[in-house]
Amino acid sequence: MVEMAVTVAAGTHRPCSGVSPAASGNRRLAGWRPLAPAAPAKLRLSSPALRVPRAASPAAVEDGSSSNTDTVPTPKVIIDQDSDPDATIVEVTLGDRLGDLLDTMSALRNLGLNVVKASVCLDSSGKHNKFAITKSSTGRKIDDPELLEAVRLTIINNMLEYHPETSSQLAMGATFGIEPPTEVDVDIATHIDIYDDGPERSLLVVESADRPGLLVDLVKIIADINITVQSGEFDTEGLLAKAKFHVSYRGKPLIKALQQVLANSLRYFLRRPTTEDASF
């Protein structure tokens, strides 16, 4: 039986104190399970027709607010692999419109996950729902990029179902929403930066237009250059995706030449289609 500890009493919320940092900057983090290049993916996450598990009880109401204001807050989904050594931390925000997300937690359990802890906090940007989740089969945090992406898309799918007003602000709204984004990647510039992050790793920061399957694709591109992804964070902020990966090459930070190879590979993959690309 899945056990879940909710850290706040019903009807009460605590102020947000931010995501707790890792216990030690020198602690070696368990690496993500690499994607096998020769093995076919179990899920076609890059496909716009991706089917993700829906909640078990579609009649459940997840809306925590009856606000019908014209201004829709920016939906945010954060997947954090750094803050907790034993669990993957997921944070979901939509201003003050979200309820306790019980149906979302049920959908996560349908992915073979345990919600071992849940909390809600408030700050000036709204209500932040946080979950600590582990794999039911191992009791450990998620190390599979495909499963992490399935978690992200499941949460966004539920948000679109219960808050259809967000569809114009989410890349998945183009497929599942009632009002798709008019131009998903216009005015969203791609930024790629790589920094030294201690004696054993580098920090890769990527900002780009979001799309389904992006997390898996980024990890695969990195792995194809034989670079190891140790841990990281993937944020969805409306139509924008922000990724921060701790990466290394043979246990060392990336040298400048390898940084350039990685940046060029990512930039080529994330570039916008042009007339020349489509011409024949």
DSSP state letters, 141-174: ----HHHHHHHHHHHHHHHHHH-GGGGGGSTTHH
Q: In angstroms, rounded to a whole number, what is the distance separating the alpha carbons of residues 195 and 53?
A: 37
106 vs 276 pLDDT, higher one: 106
pTM of the model: 0.75
pLDDT of residue 4: 39
- H helices of the chain, in order, are 102-109, 145-162, 173-176, 214-224, 256-270, 275-278
Of 10, 4, 235, 13, nearest to 129 (Cα)?
13
Highest mean pLDDT among 13-22, 26-35, 136-145: 136-145
Residue 85: pLDDT band by 50, 70, 90 thresholds? very high
Q: Is 42's pLDDT higher than 70?
A: no
- Asked if 240 and 210 touch (Cβ cutoff 8 Å), the reply is yes
Of 157, 242, 227, 124, nearest to 191 (Cα)?
242
235 vs 171 pLDDT, higher one: 235
Worst-scoring range by mean pLDDT, 28-37, 38-47, 105-114? 38-47
Q: Which domains does the chain have, with CATH numbers?
A: 76-176 (3.30.70.260), 191-270 (3.30.70.260)
| Burial of 90 per CB tally in 10 Å (0-12, 13-18, 19+) | buried
Amino acid at 27: R
Q: In angstroms, rounded to a whole number, what is the distance separating the alpha carbons of residues 152 and 154?
A: 5
CA dihedral for 80, 222, 52, 243, sign (positive or negative): positive
